[in-house]
Each structure stands twice: as C-alpha cells, then as structure tokens.
A = this chain, B = another copy of it.
Amino acid sequence: MKNKIMTAAEAVADIKDGASVMVGGFMACGTPEILIDALVKKGVKNLTVICNDAGVPGRGVGKLVSSGQIKTLIASHVGLNPEVAKRMNTDIEEDKLECILVPQGTLAEQIRAGGAGLGGFLTPTGVGTIVAEGKEVINVDGRDYLLEKPLKADFALIRGSVTDQFGNTTYNGTTRTFNPMMAAAASYVIVGACEIVETGAIDPNNVVTSGIFVDAIVGGETPWQI
C-alpha cells in the first residue's frame, strides 16, 4: 500500500485558494501547528476554516487569522483572539473575516454527521435563540428541536499523539477534541503526528481514528512549550 508519510509542504500542496479546511483542537490544544505553519507559508487565501475556536494570536488557527488567509470562520468561540473581532469589523475588504458562530455541541455533531453519512440531526440546543434563525423546527414527542445539517470539508488538519504508518491515530489527554470527527468528514486528511510508529504497534483496542481516513502523515509535531 502507498506510503503516506511526507513533508508538511507536500501534505498541504493541494490546498488551494478558496478551500474548506477543518482544523482540530480546542484553544490550540490538539491543533497541528506544523500543518498550520505550512499553510501560512503556502499563503493560500480565502479559506473557509472550521474549528472549535480561533485559537489565540500566534497559536493554532490564530496564525491563519493574523495572516489574513481566512475568509469565513465557522467556530463556537472566538473571544480569546481579539484579532477576530478586529477583522470582522474592518473596512479593508481584503482583510475582512466572516465569522459564523455555532454552539459547540452542534458543531461537533454536524461534523460527526458529515462523516457518518447522516443528513442532519435534531438538537434542542439553540431553540428560541438567534441560532434558530432560518432553521427548521421539528417537534418530536412534544419537544422542539432544530434540524441541523452536516458539515464536510475539502481538507482536515488533525493532530495525532501517536500515529502508525497506516494512519491509525491516538490522542493524548484533551488533544482529542474535534480531531476524530474531522478525520471522517474531510476529503483529504493530514495528520501532524508527535510520534510515528510501525503499523500494528498500537493496540487495536486503543486506536481512535482509523488509518482509512488518513491521506498524509507528517512527523515532527511537538507538544506546545509553556
């Protein structure tokens, strides 16, 4: 079978202007920094980025916000990155960022639905709020739910703690976050791995993300330094 291990530059080579990119992590814990760095270096523009949050300046998705490469950000929380509000309100057209805010549980479930072939799901979250605007409300057994649709993307940037050569991946601690759902919901999946091991070295009971989802593996991801 084909070799999936490559450099970060090779892995992001097919990400073009206007691509949709899912990025794992929560406040950059669980975000593959080496892949973000490669994307910044590549300089592609007008990206739609789907991530729990906007990271913080200089870390995670925050780097892509600062570099002005994101046109649309779909996230649940952007409050820890003041750069987002600045770009949402700027008059400079090419710096302008559109931000679509989604409840965190809904965002996670939308991405899961995208990978799992579901046409949507009914959630009680957001009923009666501005999140419900434009969405169908369906009553099931006396309770109102919003019909939320699946999310998919062209690419997913995943951070693996341990990844085998086939792409089977485990996540340490709270780095798991959105990574497993995104790995199933994107057409081309790149893992930034802290450690690469032989195929079969991970106990089959403990693999979280199957290598069948993974197209490219980039080594050298390092834990964030305090």
Contacts and interface: CB of A to CB of B under 8 A. Distances in A.
Nearest to A136: B138
A56 B109 CA distance: 36
A117 interface: yes
A126 interface: no
Given A170-B205, A206-B206, A140 B119 contact: yes
Interface stretch (A60-68, A95-103, A142-150, A211-219): A142-150
Given A171-B205, A172-B205, A205-B206, A122 B124 contact: no
A123 B117 CA distance: 7
A147 B141 CA distance: 13
A134 interface: no
Contacts of A34: none
Given A205-B206, A206-B205, A206-B206, A145 B170 contact: no
| Most-contacted residue by chain B among A120, A141, A172 (CB, 10 A) | A120
A113 interface: yes
Contact of A113 (B121, B147, B149, B173): B121
Interface in A105-157: 109, 113, 116-124, 138, 140-141, 143, 145, 147, 149
